[in-house]
Homo-oligomer: A and B are copies of this chain.
Amino acid sequence: MTASAAPPLRVIPLGGLGEIGLNLLVVESGDTAIAVDCGVMFPDEQMLGVDVAIPDLTYLRTLGPRFKAIFLTHGHEDHIGALPYVLGEFDVPVYGTPLTIGFVRSRLREHELPATLAVYEREPICVGPFAVEPFAVTHSIPDSVGLVIRTPVGTVVHTGDFKLDQTPLDGRLPDLGRLAELGAEGVLLLMSDSTNVEHAGVTPSERSVGVHLEQIFREAAGRVLVTTFSSHIHRMQQVIDLSARFGRKVGLVGRSLTSHVATARDLGLLGVADGTLVDLAILRDLPRDQVTLITAGSQAEAASALVRIAMNAHKQVVLTPGDVVILSSRIIPGNERAISSLVNHLYRRGATVHYGRGVPIHVSGHASQEELKLVLNLVRPRHFVPVHGEYRHLVRHLQLAREVGVPADGCHLLEDGDVLEIGVDGVERPERVPAGRVFVDGKGVGEVGDVVLRDRRHLSEDGLVLAVLAIAQQSGDIVAGPDLVSRGVLADEASPEVIEGARTMVLDALGAINPESRTDPAEVKEEVRKALRRYFKRLDRRPVILPFVLEM
């Protein structure tokens, strides 16, 4: 097939262009379609009562057997989290680096889904007219890659999420040489990470965090608790190394954290000296200045380990004055108040808390402006599509591209559902395809296999349970409610027995947690939701549950 006879390249973002998260991009040529990444988005306050959102899969369904494979850039949830739902419908192979595939494998195990998972090899992977090969990038998770996709009309480069860390902890540098080579060859289309386009300069190296952590470790007289994203293997490596240096044993608190650490160790991506990682039971008997804990809960998620510890409601970890807590992670927008409340509670325990005011105890995994310009200049693409960002990030990234000389007619602002068609004769923008968010309810532990996809139809079919209660802000006492209102859930939903049963269930659940936990509205909501989900499940119903907690 000559280039002039080649079908146009079609690029269709189904998620991630217009929001942070939910990344899923379709690349098509003729009768072959592949996807880059397959991620979720975590809910904000607007998405009440749902656990997580995945991209609308309608367009993938219209592709049918033309949809051939999924290529992953790295193992973050917003890039792999929707796989369990997609693989439940589509039997396509999934390619990734060893760590990424390791994380996917443990996610799929929870869902008991069979799947064809393969690790990138030295040779490009050929799917129909496409040949796909990864190139190394640095990011806040090891083993991250960008993708080179050879297509009938030219070469596509997708950076994935990246930064250009010149002193990465594992010595695996971003492969700028490869980008330069591709640029010299000629690149048809570049798609590059826009997350940090608002930041001037260069994102600091992961190593820069170590310097500040070391200072804290040096001065700490009590236990050191560090929380970070459960996939941030290099951050944990630094904490483990510092602990070893300062004579501390390390315990892990949190399920996904423990699982991620195990996967990374198996692959040789996390180095831990024998005897450094120990059971929490052993740590209990050690002097406090010989103990480090790495805990989940960096976003103050309700019911997370760190929130329970802050509320004095954790079975194994009780904070005492002199203990040091380090929140070594960014605040995801929307979580500010929850994290602020978490910090207040940690102070009530007498802990010293480091949470990113003053010393930089976290750095981003995304490239800043100078790095983005450098990549644009190396690759010198004919066309450019900024990816991974809200509308303003995409606009600003396009402005950067124009500044470094990408031709105006090659700069494309795409949002989810938009279609960009690049043929040998030029570029077209055909009609949009369906795109949006579908809500998933019930991803929690113990509810595996019980996920409910909620689109408009389901929401109206399954009904809604609203639970309203008022909590005394200081004591945690329940001063009003729970008042329960159900709508479209049960034929006899108005019956006093059903409502009373649910009320009792909620009261019992709240009675079982300690009063300080009840001063945290997020915690109360989570308990109410769990209790009502259990209750209605017994009645064979799965309504959307919306708990409302008024603080008095």
Which A residues are within 8 Å of any B CB, using their own CB? 44-48, 198-200, 333-334, 336-337, 340, 343-344, 346-348, 353, 357-358, 390-392, 395, 415-417, 436-437, 455-456, 459-460, 464, 466, 468, 470, 472-474, 479-480, 483, 485, 487, 521, 546, 548-552
Partner of A198, one of B200, B357, B548, B551: B357
- The answer to whether B470 and A344 touch across the interface, beta carbons within 8 angstroms, is no
- The answer to whether A550 and B485 touch across the interface, beta carbons within 8 angstroms, is no
Q: Which residue of B lies closest to A348 (CB)?
A: B391
- The answer to whether A550 and B334 touch across the interface, beta carbons within 8 angstroms, is no
Chain B nearest Cβ from A388, distance in angstroms: 15
Chain B nearest Cβ from A163, distance in angstroms: 17
Measured between alpha carbons, how far is A550 from B358 in the docked complex, in Å? Answer: 37
- The answer to whether B391 and A344 touch across the interface, beta carbons within 8 angstroms, is yes
Q: A437-B552, A487-B485, A552-B456 are in contact. Are A521 and B470 (CB under 8 A)?
A: no
- The answer to whether A48 and B550 touch across the interface, beta carbons within 8 angstroms, is yes
- The answer to whether B480 and A550 touch across the interface, beta carbons within 8 angstroms, is no
- The answer to whether A395 and B548 touch across the interface, beta carbons within 8 angstroms, is no
Measured between alpha carbons, how far is A293 from B47 in the docked complex, in Å? Answer: 35
Measured between alpha carbons, how far is A337 from B335 in the docked complex, in Å? Answer: 10
Interchain Cβ contacts under 8 Å between A and B, 29 examples: A44-B337, A46-B521, A47-B550, A48-B550, A198-B357, A199-B358, A333-B337, A336-B336, A340-B390, A343-B392, A344-B390, A347-B395, A348-B391, A353-B392, A415-B474, A416-B474, A417-B474, A436-B472, A436-B473, A436-B474, A436-B552, A437-B473, A437-B552, A455-B552, A456-B470, A459-B480, A459-B550, A485-B485, A485-B487
Instruction: Output the residue of A46, A390, A436, A552 with the most chain B CB within 10 A.
Output: A46
- The answer to whether A464 and B483 touch across the interface, beta carbons within 8 angstroms, is yes
Q: Which residue of B lies closest to A494 (CB)?
A: B494
Contacts of A392 in B (CB 8 A): 343-344, 346-347, 353
Q: Which residue of B lies closest to A457 (CB)?
A: B480
Q: A357-B198, A357-B199, A391-B347 are in contact. Are A460 and B480 (CB under 8 A)?
A: yes
- The answer to whether B551 and A437 touch across the interface, beta carbons within 8 angstroms, is yes
Chain B nearest Cβ from A548, distance in angstroms: 6
Contacts of A346 in B (CB 8 A): 392
Taking the full assembly, how many copies of this chain does it contain? 2
Measured between alpha carbons, how far is A459 from B550 in the docked complex, in Å? Answer: 10
Q: A353-B392, A390-B344 are in contact. Are A48 and B337 (CB under 8 A)?
A: no
Measured between alpha carbons, how far is A46 from B468 in the docked complex, in Å? Answer: 11
Q: Which residue of B lies closest to A19 (CB)?
A: B473
Contacts of A47 in B (CB 8 A): 550-551
- The answer to whether B480 and A358 touch across the interface, beta carbons within 8 angstroms, is no
- The answer to whether B46 and A550 touch across the interface, beta carbons within 8 angstroms, is yes
Measured between alpha carbons, how far is A104 from B46 in the docked complex, in Å? Answer: 36
Measured between alpha carbons, how far is A551 from B48 in the docked complex, in Å? Answer: 9
Contacts of A343 in B (CB 8 A): 392
Contacts of A415 in B (CB 8 A): 474
Chain B nearest Cβ from A58, distance in angstroms: 13
- The answer to whether B466 and A480 touch across the interface, beta carbons within 8 angstroms, is no
- The answer to whether A48 and B390 touch across the interface, beta carbons within 8 angstroms, is no
Measured between alpha carbons, how far is A336 from B331 in the docked complex, in Å? Answer: 11
- The answer to whether A46 and B549 touch across the interface, beta carbons within 8 angstroms, is yes
Measured between alpha carbons, how far is A455 from B48 in the docked complex, in Å? Answer: 25
Contacts of A353 in B (CB 8 A): 392
Contacts of A46 in B (CB 8 A): 521, 549-551
Measured between alpha carbons, how far is A480 from B358 in the docked complex, in Å? Answer: 46
Chain B nearest Cβ from A358, distance in angstroms: 5
Measured between alpha carbons, how far is A273 from B42 in the docked complex, in Å? Answer: 51
Contacts of A348 in B (CB 8 A): 391
- The answer to whether B466 and A459 touch across the interface, beta carbons within 8 angstroms, is no
Chain B nearest Cβ from A545, distance in angstroms: 12
Partner of A466, one of B45, B357, B485, B552: B485
Contacts of A340 in B (CB 8 A): 333, 390
Chain B nearest Cβ from A253, distance in angstroms: 22
Measured between alpha carbons, how far is A199 from B356 in the docked complex, in Å? Answer: 11
